[in-house]
Amino acid sequence: MNHNSRRYYEKQLRRKVGTAIHDYQMIRRGDRILVAVSGGKDSLVLLKVLADLRRSAPVEYEIMPVHLSTGFEKDFGRIIEWARSALGLEIEVVQTGISEILARVSDPEKSPCALCSRLRRGRLYTLAQERGVSSIALGHHLDDIIETFFLRCFYTGQIGAMAPARVSNDGRNRVIRPLAYCKLTLVKAYFSFFDVEPVSCSCMIRPDSKREQIREYLRILEKDNPKMKNSIFAALGNIDTKSLCLKGEYHAHSH
């Protein structure tokens, strides 16, 4: 098979998504899944793959694509058209007023990204409750997960990442990340065959510079060890707790 063909990338992606769904029991029979569609490449690939898998999956499930409009996106109309014509899906657009909230309350000295993210997450969780869905699907991929791991290590003094499937802190929402096994390069390669441009965003904030820096470090390291990202991801599910610096553990085991 031609390694630059649409079919090649589609098969790769569907296989990895299918495996992640199986490994983390992301989708069950009769699930109603709210798919968060920002209009970026990741979320559009997620929507397409879930729509395709639904036709061939052994279990029946429903997908509800939702776009939270923050007020920063431009030209989302073309994404609605694409979903309608290419996938036969209607994307529900929910106004959030987030751009106005940020203009009013964010500290000009600090990046408003964390607040924006919190507001979007809160709105998504509320919407999931209102619509009575069983899961919220987000477009985070393998690179997002390992970058988050390093960000938390370097800047918050905590070991953690983004779980491929988890119940939210309030215990009321289940979040799934079906692209968890897919590298960004694969997502981008597949997206290049889509007949749509991703949405452009008028948010004034520069890209997350800390995340960008970590991405650059990983790029350099990956040149020496092409399997490194897969190894880091595997490490996040293979934890040797006895070798970590957990207080009180030694005494508990030494008697």
- The model's pLDDT over 105-122, given as tens digits with 9 standing for 90+, comes to 767 667 677 778 888 888
pLDDT above 70 for 248: yes
What pLDDT was estimated at residue 249?
57
What pLDDT was estimated at residue 101?
81
- CATH number belonging to the domain at 6-237, selected among 3.30.910.20, 3.20.190.10, 3.40.50.720, 3.40.50.620: 3.40.50.620
Helix 228-235 and helix 209-224: axis angle, to 10°? 120
Q: What is the mean pLDDT of residues 210-238?
A: 94
Q: Domain segments of the chain: what residues? A: 6-237
What pLDDT was estimated at residue 238?
96
Strand partners, 35: 65, 137
The confidence band for 255, taking pLDDT boundaries of 50, 70 and 90, is very low
Q: What is the pLDDT of residues 134-192, one digit of tens each?
A: 999 999 999 999 999 999 999 999 999 999 999 988 788 999 999 999 999 999 999 99
CA nearest neighbour of 176 among 162, 160, 161, 164:
164
Measured CA distances, 247 to 51, 115, 155 (Å):
47, 32, 21
> Which one is predicted more confidently, 138 or 101?
138
What pLDDT was estimated at residue 215?
94
Instruction: Judge whether 37 and 73 are in contact, CB under 8 Å.
Output: no
Token pair, residue 177, equals: 């990340």
The confidence band for 58, taking pLDDT boundaries of 50, 70 and 90, is confident
Instruction: Judge whether 109 and 148 are in contact, CB under 8 Å.
Output: no
What pLDDT was estimated at residue 200?
77
